[in-house]
Amino acid sequence: MDIIVIGAGVVGVSTAWRLAQDGHKVRLIDKAADVGTGASFSNGAQLSYSYVAPLADPSVWAQLPKLLTDPASPVQFRPGFDLFQYRWLMQFLAACTPERARRTIDELGALAESSKKILHENAALRAIPFEWTQTGKLVVYSGEQSFAAARLYAEQQALSGTDKRAVSTEQCLEIEPALASIAERLVGGLFSPGDEAGDAYLFTQGMARLLDADALMLQTEVKGLVREGRTIKAVHTDKGMLEADLVVLAAGVDSRRLGRSVGLDLPIYPLKGYSATAPVAVPAAAPSVSITDAKRKVVYARLGSTLRLAGAADLVGHNLDIDQARVGQLLADARHDFPDAADWAQSRLWAGQRPATPTGRPILGRSGVADNLLLNVGHGALGFTLALGSADRIARDVAGRAGA
């Protein structure tokens, strides 16, 4: 089949690569000059296969006043003149129930395991130089109540075969000695030995190199989709109309705009996050295991000779400005917790927009408005983790159509 994939982030490039593996002619379209320059460029870098709990969690209700009013909160809400922002927030709060969170964890867990399996079993992907480490992930806790809830969560996941272990503070230090600088405030952690880390931008670049040279159509802006009845007749770009047998929408936060052009109302809102990437100063003081601070909602990932710090989830609309107060808080925490780990003054700062659904579940498969339009959108903060599994889901859908 002749297939157009819209969006050249890690999800879109994974989709194009997977479809090409099945012998389809693929064209990958993006307005950027290079692949992986949007939300994939400088994200948290964790391949969090065993820790896919959504932001929409029952614990949100107790934290809501602080989340909405505390300027140091990891989640910030800035009201605007945007009815969709309020609608998305109401849908998000409605998803904060035990049943819906459990369903999300189950679905994301299956996608994550599929992603991991594909990466580990494909020699071409494993050969991509993307600072890949397989040292596990350690989520650290500084409150007894939150740690008790985490232990229960780990026990529940163990029933489905997930290797996630509750560990004491002493065991945390054995797993990652660099945590000695914050040991006094830790009460324990959850260790997932099968989790990994890597540079999503480098991975996306490497996958793009596996595509045919004529597959990439960069610096090509998609204006909208042209639909006639139940068929997408063309992709309207600034370089003309492009026709294909099938179109896959994988354009991150821009997917909502493009969906509206054919009457599709996608519940995707940009959750703004920040990262700082700094050169490692003292290797022994820098974590080699991926670290998540459960209280501050920040992550650390070692990427070769650099240390990546990422955090925040701000509902502030389509805004990529660097909020100095927000990154200042992130860097202040990093300097306090890991003062010798990196040269934080030399940090490369970045802001990105995670394409988030209220439930935390991506929207995959048939669009409902056109028979030849598939969706691979709404992965939130887990795009890197879920990209390959989501791409495989799309490819299997396409294969089912071809065989029908």
Q: Is residue 380 part of a domain?
A: no
Residues paired with residue 302 on neighbouring β-strands, in sequence order: 307
User: If 0-12 CB within 10 Å is exposed, 13-18 middle and 19+ buried, where does residue 120 land?
Assistant: exposed
Helix (H, G, I), strand (E, B) or coil at 112: helix
Q: What are 206's two structure tokens? A: 């490497």
Range of the domain at 73: 64-97+129-196+269-356
Separation CA 242–CA 392 (nearest Å): 25
Asked if residues 41 and 351 have their Cβ atoms less than 8 Å apart, the reply is no
Q: Is residue 329 part of a domain?
A: yes
In the chain, the number of structural domains is: 1
Separation CA 10–CA 389 (nearest Å): 12
Helix (H, G, I), strand (E, B) or coil at 173: helix
Separation CA 54–CA 101 (nearest Å): 7
pLDDT of residue 97: 96
Q: For residue 178, what is the DSSP state?
A: G
Q: Is residue 113 part of a domain?
A: no
Name the E strands within 8-102: 25-29, 46-47, 75-77
Separation CA 188–CA 6 (nearest Å): 43
* CATH classification at residue 80: 3.30.9.10
pLDDT of residue 373: 98
Q: Is residue 320 part of a domain?
A: yes
Give 352's Cβ-side CA count (13 Å radius): 25
Cα Dmax for the chain = 64
- CA angle, residues 103, 97, 156, in degrees to nearest 5: 55
Distances in Å between the Cα of 308 and the Cα atoms of 264, 293, 305 are 36, 14, 10
Give CB contacts under 8 A, 24+ apart, made by 316-322.
Answer: 316/76, 316/78, 316/80, 316/272, 317/78, 317/80, 317/82, 317/85, 317/270, 318/253, 318/270, 318/353, 319/272, 320/272, 320/351, 320/352, 320/353, 321/351, 322/274, 322/349, 322/350, 322/351
Q: Is residue 44 part of a domain?
A: no
pLDDT of residue 157: 78
- CA angle, residues 87, 44, 137, in degrees to nearest 5: 115
The tokens 């969706």 sit on which residue? Answer: 375
Q: Is residue 367 part of a domain?
A: no
pLDDT in tens, the chain (404 residues): 999 999 999 999 999 999 999 999 999 999 999 999 999 999 999 999 999 989 999 988 888 887 777 888 888 888 888 899 999 999 999 999 999 999 999 999 999 999 999 999 999 999 999 999 999 999 999 999 999 988 988 888 777 778 899 999 999 999 999 999 999 999 999 999 999 999 999 999 999 999 998 999 999 999 999 999 999 999 999 999 999 999 999 999 999 999 999 999 999 999 999 999 999 999 999 999 999 999 999 999 999 999 999 999 999 999 999 999 999 999 999 999 999 999 999 999 999 999 999 999 999 999 999 999 999 999 999 999 999 999 999 999 999 876 54
Q: Is residue 135 part of a domain?
A: yes
Residue 290: which H helix or E strand, with range? strand 290-293
Q: Is residue 165 part of a domain?
A: yes
